[in-house]
Amino acid sequence: MLIGFKLGNFRSFLNEQSFSYVTSSDRAHESTHCVRTGMKSIPRLSKSAIIFGPNGSGKTNFVIGLETLRDLVLHSTAYSEQQYAERYTPFQFGPSAREATRFEIDVLLEGVRYRYSVAYDAQQIWSERLLVYKTGKAQRWFERNHDEVSRSEIWQPFSPNFNGPREMWRKATRAKALFLTTAAQLNSEQLKPLFHWFEHCMEIIFPSDTADVARIAASVQDPRLKGRTLKLLQAVGIDVEDVRIADPDRAISELGAARTVNAGHLPHVNGRLQVEFLYARGGSNPIWLESEYEAAGIHRLFGLFGPLIGTIENDKLLVIDEFDANLHPLIARFLVKFVNDPIISKGRSQLLLVSHNTTLMDLDMLRRDEIWLTELDESHASILSTVLRSSPRKHEQIAKGYLRGRYGAVPSIQPQFDALVNEAKLEGGKRGRAKCAS
């Protein structure tokens, strides 16, 4: 499970900002939303969190930060110099544009806590460290730091609890590659659980991903996943009876001839992948509708249900940017409750959403420490915090207070709007006088 994530000097984030699933002492939704860890330092972790905030306040940049760290861990040894440099996107205003980006992630896997941190710029890795907690005391498995004076790397002694050909892994680690990546790919058994978590247990979805018909087609090829997805669609009032990959031969398809789709081969019409949805309305013949004629919301739901089911079944972390795009508020609420339902989701799956849907700011379905806010400070840098900083009451109407500006993190509209209205009136008056004069 994800415990927390920190980032600094990345895109709109200047000073280090922290996100955490560690719960407060609040007992609300304890039996459904919280998972006990068995560790004194972090007794409970939350299963869900939602980030709110005005447009341009850094919500998507936070998600991109998670994605960037994941990609660095998985692929740093394979990057070209240009690909590596593209991962460096610091805060652009001031001296920070030449300073290192910093990430730290805290993960709990099978009772072992891993706290991994890295700092880098476009030229090299500046620091990298892994702390492992098997008991209350941290074991520093490895740590490296770039020394600017000697222009060399300083490696701290490896922990005696970290086994394997460590010197070989160290010598194989390039200045622009992570030791974690290098050692894991060179068969470090002790680092495999953490590397595996990055590779298989964190899924990140952006709006364009759920609009990709290829992702829908991948779900269609798994009969069990397709069946569960169709049931969920029907549960939210969308009467899709079936979904299939369309046959490229339209004439044969229209005659209803059954064709077999070979594994790994997805048919295209005019170079584009085609998926069809079956509707069987009462009193009429069943009709297959091509995906291009289907509502965007159907694509969105079909693209979300597969990852949601996979998250619950495999104890994954699912991160969704612009979660409420093309979703009715009631369906959005249903999906959040779906992940937190103790009967459906019995494991350690987690959900992290980015949303503008204030109906989700409901203490009947979220804990106060699960509501996060982003806003810009005076230097136009992103600030991340929970709504708890404003000490809301246990039964407070969070959404109402938020829209009134009680917790901050809302767009400042009125002053600019008044200026635009006055400007429009002034321009209108000038045009009116000009017409009268002519």
Tell me the mean pLDDT in the region 422-427. 75
- Please count the residues of the chain: 438
Residue 18: pLDDT over 80: yes
- Asked whether the beta carbons of 399 and 371 are under 8 A apart, the reply is no
Share of the chain above pLDDT 70, in %: 87
- Asked whether the beta carbons of 324 and 210 are under 8 A apart, the reply is no
Inter-CA distances, 385 with 18, 45, 282, 390, Å: 8, 17, 51, 10
Residue 272: pLDDT over 90: no
- Asked whether the beta carbons of 179 and 170 are under 8 A apart, the reply is yes
Residue 364: pLDDT over 70: yes
Higher pLDDT, 343 or 355: 355
Higher pLDDT, 11 or 412: 11
Question: Taking the CA of residue 47 as centre, how many other CA atoms within 13 Å lie in the half-sphere pointing to its CB?
Answer: 25
- Closest among 11, 37, 32, 195 to 93, alpha carbons compared: 11
| Cα–Cα dist 24/184, whole Å | 35
Band (pLDDT 50/70/90 cuts) for residue 113 is very high
Tell me the mean pLDDT in the region 160-182. 97
- Closest among 50, 19, 44 to 32, alpha carbons compared: 44
Residue 418: pLDDT over 70: no
Helix residue ranges, H only, 129-191: 166-172, 179-185
Query: Residues 91, 96, 100, 106: is their CA dihedral positive or negative?
Result: negative
| Cα–Cα dist 256/244, whole Å | 12
Band (pLDDT 50/70/90 cuts) for residue 294 is confident
| Cα–Cα dist 247/261, whole Å | 8
- Closest among 77, 92, 237, 29 to 173, alpha carbons compared: 77
User: pTM of the entire structure?
Assistant: 0.88
Residue 236: pLDDT over 80: yes
DSSP3 helix / strand / coil % (the chain, rounded to 5): 35, 25, 40
Residue 258: pLDDT over 50: no
Q: Tokens 């060399």 sit at which residue? A: 152
What is the structure's pLDDT at 306? Answer: 85
Tell me the mean pLDDT in the region 71-76. 98
Beta carbons within 8 Å of 235's beta carbon, 6+ residues apart:
334
**Other CB atoms within 10 A of residue 430 CB:** 10
3-state secondary structure of 52: strand
What is the structure's pLDDT at 103? Answer: 98
| Cα–Cα dist 196/187, whole Å | 12
Residue 16: pLDDT over 80: yes
Query: Residues 381, 387, 392, 396: is their CA dihedral positive or negative?
Result: positive
| Cα–Cα dist 35/212, whole Å | 34
User: Quick one: tokens of 112?
Assistant: 């072992």
| Cα–Cα dist 294/275, whole Å | 10
Residue 377, amino acid: D
Higher pLDDT, 176 or 208: 176
Band (pLDDT 50/70/90 cuts) for residue 438 is low
Band (pLDDT 50/70/90 cuts) for residue 420 is low
Tens-place pLDDT, residues 389-398 = 999 998 899 9
User: Quick one: tokens of 410?
Assistant: 């809302």
3-state secondary structure of 116: strand
Tell me the mean pLDDT in the region 290-314. 84
Query: Residues 307, 312, 316, 317: is their CA dihedral positive or negative?
Result: positive
What is the structure's pLDDT at 239? Answer: 87
DSSP 191-242: THHHHHHHHHSEEEE-HHHHT-HHHHHHHHT-HHHHHHHHHHHHHTT----E
Inter-CA distances, 155 with 127, 145, 162, 171, 347, Å: 10, 7, 14, 11, 39
